[in-house]
Amino acid sequence: MSYLQIRNVWKTYEDNVILEKLNFTIEKGEFCTLIGPSGCGKSTFLRMLLGQDTPSRGTILLEDQPLSSEPGSDRGVVFQKYTLFPHLKALENVMLGLEMEHSPLLGKVFGSTRKRIKEEAMVMLKAVGLEQSAHKYPSELSGGMQQRLSIAQALVKKPKILLLDEPFGALDPGSRADMHVLVRGLWQTYGLTVFMVTHDVKEAFELGTRLLVFDKVRNDPHAPNAYGATLVNDIKLDRNKRKYKGETYDTINETPVA
């Protein structure tokens, strides 16, 4: 069976239909990008994948199991901003997820476990190019560096799927291009399954192996909320992206970990 299955998913708020008849599957290792006009339910869909919201109808299965109705460590996420812990240094931000896994009571570990976790987090920081900033607070990092850190934070938990919600929307074009190279590189080295929402069409085409488009197909001018958006386009992009763009990643990732 497919890795992530979206089966006849609808989302309605009272009389407003936001999303209707969503039916598609995503395979392990795909890099899906989702675009659509604003208000087409992209964010609503991502909220459902995250567990912040549940479908009004239909089910979403991850590895044949229904998604839990609250966020969990099987789904990692990177938002546009506000997702770093301001009181923790960069390295500690990455360590946090691992620490909580090992210490249910204190959420903090000591001694040899701490050392091991620290090393693991450091590897992740290196992978996103932040080893120099390990001991800085998030407020001392630039916007691009903060997003790198946020990615490292999510990846260290080895999520089954990585959800990106317009992660580069607040960045300047230069750091955005750097981030594209980084994310593609990480996707390749770690064999990630990525689902990214963006409103940058170019970005969606460049990064993804598959492009999904949400839009309304029916529209009643007298009842604008009667019909929701659905999947109108499902484009397979270059299947060999992993291999043939390989040289770009190697420059940022000398030591693949996975």
Question: Which of positions 107-136 make contact with another protein (CB under 8 A)?
Answer: 107-108
Residue among 66 and 256 whose Cβ is closer to another protein = 66
| Extended strands (E) in the chain | 4-13, 16-26, 31-35, 57-62, 65-66, 75-78, 161-165, 194-197, 210-216, 229-236
> Contacting another protein (CB under 8 A), which of 12, 29, 54, 71?
71
SS3 content of the chain, % helix, strand, coil (to 5): 35, 25, 40
Q: Is 36 in the site for another protein (CB under 8 A)?
A: no
- The DSSP bridge partners found for residue 32 are 195, 210
Q: Which stretch binds another protein (CB under 8 A): 8-16, 104-112, 175-183, 239-247?
A: 104-112
Q: Report, in Å, the least distance between residue 140 CB and another protein.
A: 7
Binding flag, residue 42, another protein (CB under 8 A): no
| CA gap 129, 111 in Å, rounded | 27
Site for another protein contains 96 (CB under 8 A): yes
Decide: is 66 part of the binding site for another protein (CB under 8 A). Answer: no
- Least spacing, CB of residue 94 vs another protein, in Å: 10
52 binds another protein (CB under 8 A): yes
Q: In whole angstroms, what is the distance from residue 22 CA to residue 11 CA?
A: 10
Burial track 102-122 (b if 16+ CB lie within 10 A, e otherwise): eeeeeeebeeeebeebbeebb
Question: Binding residues for another protein, per CB under 8 A?
Answer: 50, 52, 70-73, 75-77, 79, 81-87, 96-97, 99-101, 104-108, 137, 139-140, 150, 153-154, 157, 159
